Amino acid sequence: MRLWIFAVGHMRGTPEGQLCDDFVDRARKLGRGLGFTGVTVEELAVSRRREAAARMKDEAERLSHRLPEGAHIVLLDARGKGMTSEDFAEMLGSLRDVGTRNLAFVIGGPDGLAPLPGQKPGRSLAFGPQTWPHLLVRALLAEQVYRAITILAGHPYHRA
């Protein structure tokens, strides 16, 4: 199963970007032997529309067009459901085991994320009730993807 992180905003050269890149690289290397064929981060530019609602709609439309056809979609949203790291790992392993080809995590921009036209998300995920900066959410997600892969591999990184 290929893992995708689709996100609005560019993080190249930021501390969050370096952290994200590190965890994505680790997840790619360890995940190969566990049936995770890749971990890819795709960035889209923040919309230049004037109104927040118009920016969110524009970003959602562009994100929707980039998602792999038939992908299982997980939205990152403060209103979503929280999961333990073990539950997150179980979700990844279960989706892989039933033959899911693509799992796409979607992170909106600074204004949030409007509904994705033509897409039906499988779930919404929150990293707690707080609102997190969207660049930091990307790094947190990359770490949780790596952590989930280590849990599935029986690797000592996760010591809960």
3-state secondary structure 51-76: CHHHHHHHHHHHHHHHCCCCCEEEEE
Q: How do the pLDDT tens digits run along the chain, 160 residues long?
A: 999 999 999 988 899 999 999 999 999 999 999 999 999 999 999 999 999 999 999 999 999 999 999 999 999 988 889 999 999 999 999 999 999 999 999 999 888 889 999 898 889 999 988 888 888 999 999 999 999 999 999 999 987 6
pLDDT of residue 12: 85
Closest alpha carbon to 149 in 80, 91, 73, 76: 91
pLDDT of residue 153: 96
Phi-psi map region of 5: left, alpha, beta (phi>0 left; psi -120 to 50 alpha): beta
pLDDT of residue 77: 86
Burial bucket for residue 33 (CB in 10 Å: 0-12, 13-18, 19+): exposed
Residue extents of the structural domains in the chain: 2-153
What letter represents residue 136's amino acid? L
pLDDT of residue 52: 94
Domain 2-153 has CATH 3.40.1280.10: yes
pLDDT of residue 131: 81
Helix (H) or strand (E) holding 102: strand 102-107
pLDDT of residue 160: 66
Q: Which residue has the tokens 């049936």?
A: 35
